[in-house]
Structure formats: structure tokens, C-alpha cells
Amino acid sequence: MITIQNLTKTYHTKSGEVEALRGISAEIRDGDIFGIIGLSGAGKSTLLRCIALLETPTSGSISIDGRDLSSLRGRQLTEHRRQIGVIFQGYNLLMQRTVSGNIAFPLEIAGVPKAEIRRRTEELIHLVGLDGKADAYPSQLSGGQCQRVAIARALAMRPEVMLFDEPTSALDPELTGEVLRVIRELAEQRTTMIIVTHEMAFARD
Ligand code: ADP
């Protein structure tokens, strides 16, 4: 599904060049759960951001379903971004919107009919175990609950692949479990996932 070939990424900074990625190649098949582990600064986020089209590689290629990402322009690029769900450490929720409002947001932008939005939002709230919280605001939720809203929001557009960048690193240990449980559930549904994690037991599992 995703083929990464000889990828490099060099950042040009005031204090010189930073080689974040050097010659990365990988093959991620449909339904794979692909874990990325490594020391801080090893380039994990950079790799994920390249796959998510948030960063342009210096050289090498990434193709998804046989299409080279660097060949995409305009509308195709927007289409492609929609097929990739990204979950970061900080969940970046809209504070003035409720749980259901946050999950509905990408669907509203995409022009999905209201009734369909309501149906899908309810389904996702249930999937991430937030029944009864539809009308709560992010400020009324724990970090673990916010992260689960972010996962539901990323799933709303039914992406082909979900990218997680240390989804639990900002959470207390007791809240980590509930987020990992949701990710496990997605794994059982054969969702293709690329996960940067420092939870070694979870990665092994
Ligand atoms: P990891 O996620 O494994 O901790 P990163 O991908 O965040 O690693 O970073 C890899 C290297 O690239 C680090 O040396 C980091 O300082 C550098 N880096 C990351 N993002 C930028 C950026 N936007 N500008 C300059 N250097 C960066």
C-alpha cells in the first residue's frame, strides 16, 4: 500500500544542515500495523510528516497505492490528504466546539449531508468509548478523552491509513491505557496504521 524508497530529508537551519532522514526504505501493506521506534531526534516525526504530505522529502520517493506522492497537485493532493488520518501528541481540538462538533468538522468541510454527519459522528463517539460525552467541550475532558476525540475526528473521513505520532506521550500512565485500547480496536478492524511509540510493550503486542 505504501512504498518508501531511499527517502532523505535534510533541514537547512541557521546553525547548519540537519540530516533528519537518510536512505529510508520500507514497505507497508494493507492492514499492516507498522511501528516506528527509536531515540529522540532519530527522525520518526519527520518520516511520518513526509508520509502525511506535511513535509517535502529532499530526495527519494513515497508512493501510496502505486501513486508517487510528489506527482500530486492541487485537487489530487487535497484528495490524498483526506485519505490519511493523522494523530499528534497534542490533540489540536477546537476548544469552542463540542466533542461531536470536533468530529463533525472535517465532514462539514467536505460537504457531507447533515443526517449522514450525525450518524457517523454518533458511530465514532461509540467506537472511541465516549458515549454520553457528545455535548461536552474539550476543557471538560481528560487528556485521554481528548486524544480519543482526535482519533474519532481523524477516522471521520474514513482514511485509508492512520498515522499516530506518539499518541500517548502527553498523557498520564492511567490515561494511556484507554487510548491504546482504542488503537487495538482499530487493529482488530484491520485499519492500516503507522505508529510512532515509545510504549515498548504496546509496540510488541
Ligand atoms: P523524532 O521524532 O525521532 O524525535 P524528528 O523527526 O522530530 O525526530 O527530528 C529529527 C531531526 O530533525 C532532529 O535533529 C530535529 O532537531 C530535526 N528537525 C525536525 N524538524 C525540524 C525542522 N522543522 N527544522 C529543523 N530541524 C528539524
Ligand 1 atom with least separation from CA of 42: 3
Rounded to the nearest integer, the mean pLDDT of the chain is 91
Q: Using the predicted structure, report yes or no on whether residue 205 has a pLDDT greater than 80.
A: no
Ligand 1 site: residues with CB under 6 angstroms?
A: 11, 13, 18, 20, 38, 40-46
Atom of ligand 1 nearest to the CA of 13: 25
C-beta atoms surrounding 181 within 10 Å:
13
Q: Checking DSSP bridges between strand 33-36 and strand 59-64, what pairing results, if any?
A: unpaired
Residue 48 CA, closest ligand 1 atom number: 6
Percent of residues, the chain, with pLDDT higher than 90: 60
Give the Å distance between the CA of 43 and the centre of ligand 1: 6
- Alpha-carbon distance of 160 to 177, in angstroms, equals 25
Residues 18-34, mean pLDDT to the nearest whole number: 94
Dihedral sign for Cα atoms in the order 69, 43, 155, 54: negative
Query: CB count, 10 Å around CB of 27?
Result: 11
* Least reliable range by pLDDT among 134-138, 140-144, 155-159, 174-178: 174-178
Task: Report DSSP letters for 93-142, one per residue.
Answer: --TTS-HHHHHHHHHHHTT--HHHHHHHHHHHHHHTT-TT-TT--GGGS-
> Which amino acid is residue 47, in one-letter code?
L
What are the pLDDT digits (tens) for 82-100?
889 999 888 789 999 999 9
